[in-house]
Amino acid sequence: MKHTEKIKFGILCNSLVFEAWEAACINHLLNHPQIELKLLVANKTIIKAKQGILQKLGQYQYRNFLFRAYKRFVLKAQSFDYISFEAQFKTIPKLNCTTIKKGKFSEYFNSEDINEIKSYQLDFMLRFGFNIIKGDILKSCKYGIWSFHHADNDLIRGGPIGFWEIYLKRNTTAAVLQQLNSNLDEGKVLRKGYLKTVAHSYAENIDQLTEMTAIWPLQVCIDLLNQNEIIQNTPNNAEQSKLYKYPKNWQFLYFILLLLKNKIYFHFEQLFLSESWQIARFEGNIDSLTHQSKIEASYISKSRSETYNADPFLWPNNDHKLMLFEHFSYKENIGKIAMSNEDGSHFKVIDFGIKTHLSYPFCFEHETQVYCLPEQAESNKVTLYKLNADGQVSVFKDLLQNFASRDASLIFYDFKWWLFCTKANCFENAALFIFYADSLYDDFKPHQNNPVKVDVQNARPAGNLFVKENKLYRPAQNNAKLYGHKVHINEVTQLSKKAFSEEIVHTVLPEKFGNYKGIHHVTHQNGQTVVDLKQTKFSLYNFRYQISRKIKRILGKD
C-alpha cells in the first residue's frame, strides 16, 4: 500500500533528553515533509524512590567497576552527549506508561495503554527507552516497533556497544535495525550495515557505528513511501550468537592493553608501512580470476617505495593498446593520471588542469568519443572529460557538484546512465551512492534512498561494471581486514530510481598472483584483464609527511 498521507510514528523513551545519536535519528525523521511525530510513550516505571548510599554500595556491580568508571569519567564518545527535546516536543501528546515486569528484564504494557497507543494509528514506534518489551505492544503499530542493536546480531547479543568487536579482534563492527517480535534478538531485519572496526579507539568505534545507523529509520520510511519491501531478506542467526554483558574487571584491563597495542601499531603502520601498488595484466577475463588457482600475469609496473601505479583502466576496445592509471608520488603526496602502452612503455602524465589529487581514471567510449571520469574528491565535484589517444583533455561537463565522490563508475544500462561511487569523509570505504540520468547531457539525480548500502566488505567500486547474459555485474572492494584487501564481483539483482540490491557471485584474492597483501581493482575487456596488487614498503617521504601531520595534530594546528 502506497502512503498518500504522512507516515505517523511514535517514540518509546525514558525521558525527553536523548543521546546525540538518538537525537540524530529523530531529526532525520522530523525533517522529512511526509513523516510526522504523533506520540511520545514515556517510561514511568524508571521513577524510583531515592536510595541511600549504603543501599547503593550494597547493590553495586563491583565486577564491572573498571568499565563503568571508564565509561562515566574517561570515555569521550560524542554519541553519548545529551540533547534535550523538551521544548521541541512540548505540543506532542505524551503517554506515561507503567509496565509490568516479568522475569529479570522483560516488560509488558497494560491493555489500557496499548489501546490508547492504537488509537493514534501509528505506522511505527522507535524504541529509545524501556528494557525488553514483549506482549501485545509489539502489535500496536502497523509496521511494528523498531529497535537498534549496535552489533552483528549473528555473532553478538547484548553489549556494550562497539566493545566486544575490539576485544575479540573482529575486522568489522556491525549494527542492525529490526522490527521487534516476541523472540529476543530475532526481530525482522530492516537495515544492517558493516564498518571496519576502529581497533585503536573505542570512542571512534562507537561514534562511527551510531553515525552510520542514524539515517536508517528515515530510509525505511522512504522505502514505505516508495512501496518497496522494508524487510530485508537477511538470515537472522541470533539464536546461535553469544550473549555478552559488561566486561569484568580483568577483561577490561586486557581491553585497555589491547587498545594500547592497537594504537601503537596504527601509528607504526602509518609511519613505516606505506602502500605500494603495481599493475598486472593477463590474457583472460573474470572467469579466469575466479576459476584458476594461480594467475600468470605480466607485471607492467614495479613495486617502489616512493611512487606507485594503481587503478588501471584499458583504453576502450583496446584500439590503441593503451592504459590509464593513477601515478602516485609520496614526495609530492599527490596522485596524477598517467597513460602508457599495455606493456608500461611510453609513460606519459596527462594534464587535466587540476593541481589536487587525481586517481581512478574511469574511461569509456560513447558515440565514438572516449571519456574519462577521474576521481577528484578534493574539488568536491565529479567532472567528465573528453580524452583522445594523444592524452589531450577537454572538459565535457560536471556530472555532480558539491559531492566529493570516490571511485565514480558509470554504465549505460536499462536505458539510463548509472553512476556508482562512495563519498569522501562519509564512510568512503563502506557507503555506496547511486546517481542516474537519461543522457550524459542531463543532470544526474540521486537515488531516492542514498546511501543504498553501508558495508565495508562490499561497497566501494573496484573497476568497470559489465553486462553478461543480460545481467549487470559490479566489482567492489572488501576493505574489512585492510584497505584494498580483495575484490568481490556482485550481480546487481535490482536497480531502479527507488530500489537497489546485489549479491556476491565471485571473489578475487591477491594470493592468486603471488605474495601480495591486497587487490582493489579489476578491469577487463576483449579478453584482457588488468588488476593492481598491494605490497607495503618504507617511504622516507611518507614518513616525513606523517610525522609532520601528527605533530601538527598534537599542537592543534591540523
pLDDT tens digits for 270-305? 999 999 999 999 988 888 887 888 888 888 888 789
Residues in the chain: 558
Model pLDDT, residue 284: 85
Q: What is the pLDDT of residues 419-454, one digit of tens each?
A: 999 999 999 999 999 999 999 999 999 999 999 999
- Report CA dihedral (288, 291, 293, 295) to the nearest 10 degrees: 0
- Quick one: cell of 287? 572467469
- Quick one: cell of 96? 506515561
Using pLDDT thresholds of 50, 70 and 90, give the confidence band for residue 184. Answer: confident
How far apart are the C-alpha atoms of 439 and 429, rounded to whole Å? 28
In which element (H, E) is residue 501 found? strand 500-508
- Quick one: cell of 48? 524510583
HEC states along 116-180? HHHCCCCCEEEEECCCEEECHHHHCCCCCEEEEECCCCCCEEECCCCCHHHHCCCCEEEEEEEEC
How far apart are the C-alpha atoms of 135 and 71, rounded to whole Å? 33
What is the value of pTM for the model shown? 0.94
Q: What is the mean pLDDT of residues 235-262?
A: 89
Residue 526, pLDDT above cutoff 50 = yes
Q: What is the pLDDT of residues 392-428, one digit of tens each?
A: 999 999 999 999 999 999 999 999 999 999 999 999 9
Residue 535, pLDDT above cutoff 80 = yes
Model pLDDT, residue 303: 79
Q: What is the mean pLDDT of residues 359-363?
A: 98
Q: What is the mean pLDDT of residues 460-481?
A: 97
Q: Domain locations in the chain?
A: 7-55+74-242, 273-554
Residue 478, pLDDT above cutoff 60 = yes
CB-based contact 332:356 (threshold 8 Å): no
How far apart are the C-alpha atoms of 401 and 161, rounded to whole Å? 36
Cell 562507537 sits on residue: 206
Model pLDDT, residue 172: 98
pLDDT-above-70 percentage for the chain: 96
Model pLDDT, residue 108: 94
Model pLDDT, residue 321: 87
CB-based contact 178:146 (threshold 8 Å): yes
Q: What is the pLDDT of residues 54-88, one digit of tens each?
A: 666 566 678 999 999 999 999 999 999 999 999 99
Amino acid, single-letter form, for residue 36:
E
Model pLDDT, residue 349: 97
Please give the CATH architecture assigned to the domain spanning 273-554: 5 Propeller (2.115)
Residue 52, pLDDT above cutoff 90 = no
Model pLDDT, residue 317: 84
Which is more confident, 437 or 528? Answer: 437
Q: What is the mean pLDDT of residues 130-153?
A: 95
Residue 198, pLDDT above cutoff 90 = yes
pLDDT-above-90 percentage for the chain: 83
CB-based contact 344:300 (threshold 8 Å): yes
Using pLDDT thresholds of 50, 70 and 90, give the confidence band for residue 39. Answer: very high
How far apart are the C-alpha atoms of 172 and 196, rounded to whole Å? 4
Residue 236, pLDDT above cutoff 60 = yes
Model pLDDT, residue 1: 43
Residue 532, pLDDT above cutoff 70 = yes
DSSP string computed for 515-545: S-SEEEEEEEETTEEEEEEEEEE--HHHHHH
Report angle CA 518, 503, 473 to the nearest 5 degrees.
Answer: 75
The CATH code of domain 7-55+74-242 reads 3.40.50.170
Q: Is the peptide bond before 451 cis (omega within 30 degrees of 0)?
A: yes
Residue 386, pLDDT above cutoff 90 = yes
Model pLDDT, residue 396: 98
In the predicted model, what is the mean pLDDT of the chain? 93
